[in-house]
Structure 1
């Protein structure tokens, strides 16, 4: 009977949400509304019910209270990000075996369902299900590595499945959790809240092992996290997946370092932040907000790391196989605060330094939701160079920076939204490249209804390469335009 009442309440909440426009809201961890729990006012109904819009004037949510105060609850959120993209292809690009200098595609960058709740004073459950990078080539090539036909219907999977225990009641000092989780080290962008991204997309290089020895940045982990005074911390021991299970043919053993296909060791990671002003949202495991749209005053310094013994291998001239450790660390500063509380204007800025050691001459090309299926070009020790790919990951040093400016609220009139222009820069000095690499993005967010309804126009400019002995040398640049429409509740 409870299940029937819960389902009916959620459906009623969705109907109400569809009929009532929401106002701009402060984002929180991952896809969720703000982390601060809302208490029910005295005298409200004592039995649990679906709550839509009762958590304050600034938010609507699909929330089922498990006790009278609302401190125990269960919540559901939905996110969809649709891309329309025009891309200048990298040299040699083919689409279904036909050369293409330019491509236009429509895709789903992310589609997610999130379910989580504080079930008791100490017990927290978090589950996320969805898919990523779903375009017309989602099931390409026509056959998987084992020779069976590919299937475009199996793209969705569990991103997270975590049980967490709050050690001290009503205090965030220590939370212990285990399961499939994005609780990571290295940086805030290694565990981004995808619904609240300031720019159109995150710097994916910070998700250092994405789809190599993890599941879209998630790992089977045991972790501790919390906030003590101005310190926000998370530490984890993870059980990484073998690279052979990532759905692609593993790179052959060569003089270029890559993830080892023999042996298995645990991975250790941590991230520590010093928060000078307001505390960041800390409700859901790991996820860090992109921008609070001026609703909080945030300035943090952070440092993080990921390390794993004998995670990488390569072959030296003597034909000996050499195993090396994976060692990654970063230092960064993050700013997100209002500039004028009367008008609602705000600024978002981040600058970080990343020292990345994947072993000698490691380099990985990657193109987000790549619109191409193959290439006729050949670069030494490199694969997946077609479409919109560039050397995103590598052994070396990276500086990443971003800045955005939120214009005054109701720029176009009451309830008609505002704008937030932004710029991003990734500058890398990788061993395999003859000179430093730079990728630039500029864009404009139209915040129709905060992060709940958002339209983004983004232009990216990236380098292209040719062989220079065993290294790669830049030969020019290419660009892509993307329009993204995000809907989130």
Structure 2
């Protein structure tokens, strides 16, 4: 069972690496701050239409988790776990050097905690150039996150409606990309009310696939696909969303009236393989999706946000993939459960997935300086290999102290535990996770 939860161990030079990174970032901020009127924006000309802008964010998790049976954390079997982790951090340098030319450099990483097995590192997540040819067409090249399929195939982490993203919309994450980024080219634009994007990219290939294909079940192939092609279109009924970023927000906190209907696709050849007799069969990955996003500002600085999507994934016969978000368990003891260790549960597979999400924003005080936003998400997956639907849900509440720049979230997440017996995969139990998150952004 493939488990994508990233885990790392204590390293003697961990704190030294973190200090170096933070010190370097601080020096850069001080340098630009001294030269700019805006604390994080440095103007390059007198017209102030050319600039370098710095932004960043971090999310810290305090969590209590019911672990899957047989989960091993640092070699010790654990049935539950409390941990503190840095879910993700980002430092972004965006430059506009003419009316039409933009350059972007993004640094960061995910899932840093004291149950880790790898050295802390700051990765170059994005490095790309974007050029606008006209008001209807722009294109870019480099390592970037522009992709198709659905709205949250490129989710804005710091503007998520729930406590985290929905992983069935990013089915190949980590397996064929670098935290949702790939090397490639893209095209984007708007024609009247239609917003579109296309992406042609080179999938990553970590080289850690199963060396031998299985009979009757597709798994990720031990070959590198040549390309990944995707596209997404949405029709915007009310206010138009910005295309300056690839990443779509989960909520505008009532600042926009938005109703969009979207549809997209993703195709990647030679993604999985399986044995058919003595022959190896290679399967492409093909996914189709439709979705709807709606945000309606309401009186007294409140708002309602709704999202619904339908995905059809085809990765070959009986393909299944489990996800463990920020998984503290690196391994598990052999057992009859198919989830995998830690927080893993089957999310992606050949089949159909329905997703619903809702949030309601209300002010805490009359000045609207603080806001509350209860939210809930529900995922219903009918996957070929499972004999019953995979149902996942979460609910919680955000407290916005300064919008998305300072946010506290409390959430509960519940997942099914699938057991294999008599050639059937059925839900034997359910496990939960309590989470307290703090997000800071500038």
Q: Taking structure 1 as the reference length, what is the TM-score of the superposition?
A: 0.81
Q: Superposed, which structure 2 residues align to 1:352-363 within 5 Å?
A: 352-363=309-320
1:159 correspondence with 2:125? yes
Aligned to 1:219: 182
1:176-325 map, 5 Å: 176-244=139-207, 248=208, 250=210, 252-255=212-215, 256-262=217-223, 264-284=225-245, 286-316=246-276, 318-325=277-284
Q: CA deviation at 1:130?
A: 0.3
Deviations 1:246-297 (A, max 9, x none): xx5546411321222135321110010100011102112x111221111111
Which position in structure 2 is the counterpart of 1:338?
297
| 1:51 counterpart SS class | coil
Q: Distance in 2 between matches of 1:9 and 1:364?
A: 41
- 1:73-472 maps to which residues of 2 (within 5 A)? 73-139=51-117, 151-154=118-121, 156-168=122-134, 171=135, 173-244=136-207, 248=208, 250=210, 252-255=212-215, 256-262=217-223, 264-284=225-245, 286-316=246-276, 318-340=277-299, 343-379=300-336, 385-408=340-363, 411-412=364-365, 414=367, 416-472=369-425
Q: What's the offset of the Cα at 1:14?
A: 5.7
Moved more, 451-460 or 252-261: 252-261
CA contact (8 A) 2:89 2:108 kept: yes
**In structure 2, how many angstroms separate the alpha carbons of the residues matched to 1:99 and 1:471?**
26
Task: Tell whether the 8 Å contact from 2:60 to 2:438 is kept in structure 1 after alignment.
Answer: yes
Q: TM-score, normalised by structure 2?
A: 0.90
Q: Name stretches of at least 5 consecutive residues in structure 2 with no aligned partner.
A: 1-25
Deviations 1:157-195 (A, max 9, x none): 111111111102xx3x11110111111111111101111
Question: RMSD between aligned alpha carbons?
Answer: 2.0
Contact 1:354–1:398, Cα closer than 8 Å, also in 2: yes
- TM-superposition CA deviations, 1:280-338 (whole Å, max 9, x none): 02112x1112211111111100001101223221112x131001111001001001221
**Superposition misfits of 4+ residues, deviation over 4 angstroms:** 7-10, 12-15
Find out whether 1:65 has 2:51 as its counterpart. no
Report SS of the residue matched to 2:401: strand
Aligned residues of 1:190 and 1:206 also touching (Cα < 8 A): yes
Change (3 A) 1:420 1:89: same
Q: Offset at 1:91?
A: 1.4
Q: In the TM superposition, what is the alpha-carbon distance from 1:465 to its structure 2 partner?
A: 1.5
Q: Measure, in 2, the Cα distance between the counterparts of 1:306 and 1:391.
A: 20
Q: CA deviation at 1:9?
A: 9.2
CA distance in 2, matches of 1:447, 1:13: 28
1-structure distance, mates of 2:418, 2:194:
43
1:197 CA drift (Å): 1.0
Distance 1:162 1:386 in 2: 36
Q: How many angstroms apart in 2 are the aligned matches of 1:421 and 1:123?
A: 39
Q: Are residues 372 and 251 of structure 1, via their aligned partners in 2, closer, same or farther at CA, if it must alter by over 3 Å?
A: farther
- In 2, are the aligned partners of 1:259 and 1:311 still within 8 Å (CA)? yes
1:142 alignment partner in structure 2 = none
8 Å contact 1:258–1:313 — kept in the other structure? yes
Q: Any idea what SS the aligned residue of 1:407 has?
A: strand
Note if contact 2:347-2:390 (Cα within 8 Å) is conserved in structure 1. no
CA distance, structure 2, for counterparts of residue 439 and residue 386 of structure 1: 17
- After TM superposition, give the deviation of residue 199 of structure 1 in Å: 1.3
CA contact (8 A) 2:209 2:221 kept: no
In terms of fraction of residues, the more strand-rich structure is 2
